Amino acid sequence: MSRKLTIALMASVAILSAGGMAQARQAAPATPHYSVDTKMADIFADPAARAVLSEFFRKRGEAAGQPEAPPEEQAATAELIKGLSPRELAGFPQANLDEEALKALGEALAKVPAPAAGPAGSMPGASATGTAPGAH
């Protein structure tokens, strides 16, 4: 009799554990596609992420009383920083990114969904040579 009870308890624990694990998987937040550790080139390659980044820096500049840079200057700056992540960029005082700003930017980027996958084997933003932007 005690053996049947032991087997029944083990089965119950297994069932409850499996149910608990399923609930834990459902409750666990998905890892965001973009963060403050994502390279700027990858953020620039996705129009939705680029829009979030542009709006974030536009508001930061506006709050600091800085005029918006002309498009040529913005393009030159983008070329210079494409290999850096926002966290790495924060090491430069000109970036105007303190810990609070990095946190806010990270939260905004985390809301941007991953870009839709293209045809099999292709990467969003990939060139005709099959390499991602900024990959040499």
CB 132 within 8 Å of CB 125: yes
CA distance 84 to 77: 12
Quick check: 117 pLDDT over 90? no
Instruction: State pTM to two decimals.
Output: 0.64
pLDDT-wise least confident of 27-36, 37-46, 112-121: 112-121
CA distances from 53 to 13, 19, 95, 121 (A): 48, 40, 13, 27
The kind and range of the H/E element at 27 are helix 2-27
Which of the residue ranges 27-31, 44-48, 73-77, 87-91 would you say has the lowest mean pLDDT? 27-31
What was the pLDDT predicted at 130?
40
pLDDT of residue 66: 87
Q: In the chain, pLDDT over 70 holds for what percent of residues?
A: 65
pLDDT class for 110, splitting at 50, 70, 90? Answer: very high
Dihedral sign for Cα atoms in the order 29, 34, 39, 45:
positive
Q: 10-31, pLDDT tens digit by residue?
A: 444 444 444 444 444 444 457 8
pLDDT for the residue 113: 94
Burial of 71 (0-12, 13-18, 19+ CB in 10 A): exposed
- The whole-number pLDDT of residue 76 equals 93
Per the structure block, which two tokens stand in for 136?
């040499």
